[in-house]
Amino acid sequence: MVTGERRRTNTWGPFYTTDECDGCGICEDYAPENFAHSWDGTYYVVVQQPETKDEVRATRLAVDACPRQCIGDDWDA
């Protein structure tokens, strides 16, 4: 069941993927240091929160490019 909730397998922090991710991989194309596919390859998660301005920029580009809009950004929350 898809609920739009944060996946528990994301590393803790402001960026995360939800259970709506279908594993397209666009996020990893934009920010390969921060996203990786799950153990079974069916979805992506944030494996490392961005640490530099360039990584933050790349992760935000991934957020904007995600076709399912399943990457959360609580940076300013």
pLDDT tens, residue order, the chain (77 aa): 778 899 999 999 999 999 999 999 999 999 999 999 999 999 999 999 999 999 999 999 999 999 999 999 998 86
Which region, left, alpha or beta, applies to residue 19 given φ > 0 means left and ψ of -120 to 50 means alpha?
alpha
CB 30 within 8 A of CB 58: yes
pTM comes to 0.92
The CATH number given to whatever domain includes residue 68 is 3.30.70.20
Number of domains in the chain: 1
Domain span at 55: 15-73
Q: Is residue 53 part of a domain?
A: yes
